[in-house]
Structure 1
């Protein structure tokens, strides 16, 4: 039995209505999941940008570059909406005609009473005389009666066809609901199985890390015992030499009085054997060469009485076994341990001890250009190696001064033009050297010789070169930051009043503030762009917010401060006021220098002669 015309119209209108605004579609856009919505409704739902979920099936959808307007138009829905609107308009006109008294549109004062058979149009008397003279015609009432049965039969046939179409659409809607429910159940089962496997792997990982840490602590304790023993000898010898130097300046009488004591102390150590290297036994991890556990398979089951056909998905092959330990120049991806109960970013690591391409010997400095090239300064190999952010080797060049003499690099920094500033030294002198990207020396100037490492940063706003320096005796050092023009002219000094001992690494944030890590004071000093002291943070310890022999320092785009906490084997993040935010990673072996790439990756050197790139930082 055919449904009433009104119910059909309502069903069609419902199917051609947006599920967000519940009104007929306006500029309908279709998503990759094949669900359609008004363009304006999608714009409100998607917000300013980024991925969003389909309001019906919750599938993740990525916005095109043009935004919501970039989604394809649903031309079929647009056509159906137009037809529905035209039909509603036509029905409105038909209903209004009787109210106008069947007036002729050409002769408004006359009523339509006749029907022209050849032309098949209703006429008034004036129409017959004007343009239908001689055409056979009959009364409009008779013509209507003759055609009523034919039109009614067509209406009934059309309603029956519409009923079958509406039934099909209702079936599609029910099938979609069933598919959504079954997909959610399947996804939940996959996630639960995955979580169980991850939990077992995490427990095993934590156990292995605990064994590694225990081994490390034993070796560290052995080294500390030897360090304390040798430092006692250093203190005795240093004190004897200092007293002799003071007496030497005062006169012969004092020298004679100190000669006997100095002879005794020096003689004591003259025949004493030099300290021997500490024999450590580092732990080595050997991954088991076993296949990856198979999580499961997704199989396709046919659904009974489905009005549409679903193409079966291909069942993927089981994953390949984990390969044996790769070579040192390969890139390894890691997830940091979760002993701190917080998310730790994925990282890629490459390198290894050596002098070949892609190998390192004491990589003390690192910088990243605006183009994403990593510049690594190797102290042992006296060179700069350049890599992409994917760890691919690009080029290398030796760290030389203008005369061709090789120097040992301590640190590197990029200037505003994409060239490189390097600080380092030979056995006789220290230098600041300016290179272009290919390693050609542009300029250099001399620095005071120091026995401790330096750091360098560039204030691109003022084109100033900032270099750390530590002078004085070994046990009573004095630290400061020197500010130069590119030609070597000294502009001023920073940090003389704060009791710096060994300022090692330095950076300048986006606001021009100067941040310096002090190895001996276990803290970070912060100064404004004019060199005025703002605050310091850190302090010796291993708790949150504390530092132990901090090295590399840099800032991210938000102004957060990243510090390589070498003594604790951590990399820490603080906000711009020095407040501790989180551990970026807690399982690095002697983290050293850090740099932030323009794309947001954190690049770090380690004293195990590797480079780590944190891709999800």
Structure 2
């Protein structure tokens, strides 16, 4: 088993290694041909020249004005490399056993395991709730679960082997595709150098036409392979991490080991139900020149058209060629030929020729839908993203938190249970500095709960009962929990932000003097500033880290800079403010002073919550559509 695990680790490291320095990627940059390299390696390879050849496929690459630094970042590879390094760091540490503390009685150490409730308990828990339940020692409970957990680990490793075999197949097919493309290019140039003289005197331009067409087909196939490879890598990373963690916890024998069977059952079960990817075989593209120089009239017509465009509109082709090289995810839309092209253009010209490169559009992953199943929602109401790239979504009416990857893959879920077994309607969620979750919602009263990432309750405190929606944020520098609060007196709404310590102790109240009416969502930026969206006043209030009012921006309307029932709010690494403008059906970006910058998205039904991932992706929750949008480029 150890040897198999080592082989899997080697395989994953090879997939995430730069082919120039042979080390894990550092600041990975992706070329238009979809090959990825370290930024420093590319800088050394490209030098100061405007163009260079890809080290893998030898394709010519034109550098953007910013040089290598201006090439697109490969966020997925960055995330996977960080996870791999974090797992290596975790496996090299020995965690102290003193952490086996009861989540309900932190001063007590758990010593027994309740068979009836399937949970570890301390002496006080035993006296209060579990006195008449059957209990066993933690050691015996761990031994009873060792065999089923080990069986799941073996099954998970077996599934991983099939995934790694698929990865090797994808790499071989990618290499074969590169070689076939090079052979096809050579064939086009070699065979048509003889034939093109009979069609036009400008023989140097015609190979470019066929190279352009062949390049379009090649890029489509290449991108398909890369996307399939990225999906497989994400699955391998998730399954491998689950098995590694189970092995570590079983070796430690602590409280966490008791939950590994349930966690592994869910993870392995998902991959047991879906077979390992078996990439569809693709036929190599082989260029077939005509058997005789006698072309059909249709072929001659569109070849002459293209030659005319090359001769008389060189700027048109130069522009498109430049755009093709610069687009990492090229897409094309039909566009008619400029009106200056002669009217004798035949109707039989292939549509693939009359296309141009469009403006860059956001690359977005969307998933969800109404329902109680995994990956479905019944009014998702908030979102938070961990440093590891896990997306946590409160599923309000389904009374649960669902967890996904930044590629939209379902990972796990847990019910929003409060001590005593009651279920809570979760409204909003935020991450603290230790990677735990703070969730606000409604049970029989307004409550704030702290969960770990697996759904175990760590803390809870009761809030003032208002029955109005609340948002939550965490000031990680001070370890303060900030919660919005709306009260009603004599028909008038009054809004404020209540700041607590992690034990529920009131620290201070913010925003009582500025006329807030119904604050919904809240965030704390990198400077410690507090930003609050006021749903009823159609604006955003900004306070400094001590709660002193700085300014507000927005106002009712649909023009640039105006808002209509704003909800979710977050900031990016540059300090720009992103707001879910729900009734205008759009997501807006402002600078840190509240000046409007741009529309990020304008085609959502009712954007409700937003969160920024550490890798730069923007996650948007659409309340009406019961969906999640992960915007990778905006």
- TM-score, reference length from structure 1: 0.49
Greater RCO, CA 8 A, separation 6+: 2
Structure (1 or 2) with the larger CA radius of gyration: 1
TM-score by length of 2: 0.48
